[in-house]
Structure 1
Amino acid sequence: MDKQSEKLIDKTWSKETIMQVELGIVQNMFGSRTEEAVEGSISFARFLSLSGLNNDTYPLFLKLLEVENHWVIDTMVGKKDPFLLLSPIQPNNYLIFNAFKLLTKWHPGGIYPVTLSIVLGILQAAYASPKDGYKIYEVSINDVNNLGKHLNKETGQEEPNNRTILDIVDRLGALAGTSTDPEKEQMARQANNIRTYFFDKRKKMEDIIPQVLLVKSDYIAKETAPRMVFVN
């Protein structure tokens, strides 16, 4: 075969074209809309978990959090504490930004509680020192509202996710009065207000958080079950 023919063949299926096809297949798999896609995501989650978490792989762990399927998440987490799953990674702007991005995307009740725990663990670690955390990522009022909307008064303050959210807003609220930055001050006050409204039985969360953010969903209703599950 001459070189010109080889070039024509290469143009038909270039590396870029093949990569686009591969990416499309992976995206469909992560969509988890079919049994086959869910099973593929479970296998990927298991492989990723066995490969280990490090500074090169943690974006893939974050990507799997977008897969709204508890079988996939359980496979990724295994027997680990979900709140500490990403604790080996030093808090950074990318990590915190994506945590708030996920909280914004999800409706209250619309995400598997273990998945929520993983994201909350990221923020709890990032704002263990609120001043240092704020230097890494400047939390907005919108961020605080999208965090607070996942509080559930019905399950009480001892429910693990509630307890963690309350801890985070308490730390963010501690920033009140520490700066002349009006946006930072408003955010901190809103964090304190959310915490106060949660504990006050006379008040409703929709009186402090925009009602549009409090529209509930049901993660179970959206899930597709796999035909079979790998058991360790």
Structure 2
Amino acid sequence: MNIEWAKKQLELGVIEKEYIDFLKNEYLTAILDPKDPKDVNALVAYAGYLNSVGLNSDNYPLFLYVLFANNAAAVDVLLDGYDAATFMEEVIPNHYIIESFFEFMRNYKKNEVYRRSLEVIVGYMAKIYNSVEEGYQLYQPTVSDVNALGKFLDEEQDQDESLNRLILDVLLFFSDLDMPYETDENKLEIARQSSRIRSDYFDNTRSLINSLTETTLEKSDSVKFGVAPEYFYGKVPG
């Protein structure tokens, strides 16, 4: 569609359906990737609406869009009243969700993802890969995926810290793929890398730098989880 032509048509009172769809997409994109407080106001309001509707297997992509905005204010409103680690437990697992989660983690540095977003992601993965063979058939992670998950372990916290516990559990499930007589090379690679990451975390004489690269473990010097809104619509979480 020629946007400029459609704008001229609009001035004449002729509304093209394709142009309306273009506007919807343009403004929704601005909301989901907010650059200023006014955009965040809309994102937070949208998150509040979704929270009131409730998550299910039909509308979960909308929730993922808000989650992936990585904006603390919006994520807090989205999850208000829920346990982040079990937030998605009612959603039927599929390849798209897990692939999107790993891609999201790969795209951010070790300290750049809002904690509650990580709890949603890793909590859902723990559910999926608890039955690791079934989970593997749903989505076959790569070594890069395993590294993207392992980098979020906090070596300054012990294993019982809730997010560490979830990550360690998922890595343990992956390590269980290294079964006797297993011939699938990808299974063996991710199982062994998962075991290496866990071992380096638990060994007081070693650290994650022994199993993960400096680039993978790199932290951002300045972390801010999204632009803050000017004000909240409706109930403020907490």
Fold conserved between structures, TM > 0.5: yes
Q: What is the CA deviation profile of residues 101-154 of structure 1, one whole-angstrom value per residue up to 9, with x for unaligned ones?
A: 111112111111101100111111110101110011111111100000111101
Sequence identity of aligned pairs in percent? 28
CA–CA separation in structure 2 for the residues paired with 1:84 and 1:120 = 10
Q: What is the CA deviation profile of residues 136-192 of structure 1, one whole-angstrom value per residue up to 9, with x for unaligned ones?
A: 111111110000011110122122111100000001101112520111101101011
**Displacement of 1:231 after TM fit?**
4.5
Match of 1:4 in 2: none
CA–CA separation in structure 2 for the residues paired with 1:85 and 1:70 = 16
Q: Alignment partner for residue 84 of structure 1, among 83, 86, 95?
A: 86
CA–CA separation in structure 2 for the residues paired with 1:107 and 1:169 = 19
Match of 2:173 in 1: 171
Q: What is the CA deviation profile of residues 183-221 of structure 1, one whole-angstrom value per residue up to 9, with x for unaligned ones?
A: 110110101111000011111212201221111136753
Q: Alignment partner for residue 218 of structure 2, among 215, 218, 221?
A: 215
Match of 2:107 in 1: 105
* Change over 3 Å in CA distance of 1:84–1:190 after alignment to 2: same
**Displacement of 1:81 after TM fit?**
0.3
Match of 2:130 in 1: 128
Q: Secondary structure at 1:214's aligned position in 2?
A: coil
Higher relative contact order (CA 8 A, sep 6+): 2
Q: Does 1:143 align with 2:139?
A: no
Q: Structure 1: which 5+ runs fail to align?
A: 1-7
> TM-score when scaled to structure 2?
0.89
Match of 1:5 in 2: none
Contact 1:68–1:219 (8 Å) recurs in 2? no
Contact 1:110–1:217 (8 Å) recurs in 2? yes
Contact 1:111–1:219 (8 Å) recurs in 2? no
Contact 2:111–2:223 (8 Å) recurs in 1? no
- In angstroms, what is the RMSD of aligned CA positions? 1.8
Query: Segments of 4+ in structure 1 off by > 4 A?
Result: 8-12
Q: Structure 2: which 5+ runs fail to align?
A: 1-7
Q: What is the CA deviation profile of residues 33-56 of structure 1, one whole-angstrom value per residue up to 9, with x for unaligned ones?
A: 100011100000011111121222
Contact 1:109–1:218 (8 Å) recurs in 2? no
The AA in structure 2 aligned to 1:177 is: M
Contact 2:45–2:232 (8 Å) recurs in 1? no
**Displacement of 1:13 after TM fit?**
3.5
Aligned residues: 225
Map 1:4-43 onto structure 2 (within 5 A): 9=9, 13-43=15-45
Match of 1:197 in 2: 200
> TM-score when scaled to structure 1?
0.91
CA–CA separation in structure 2 for the residues paired with 1:60 and 1:221 = 23
CA–CA separation in structure 1 for the residues paired with 2:225 and 2:159 = 27
Which is richer in helix?
1
The AA in structure 1 aligned to 2:203 is: D
Contact 2:113–2:225 (8 Å) recurs in 1? no
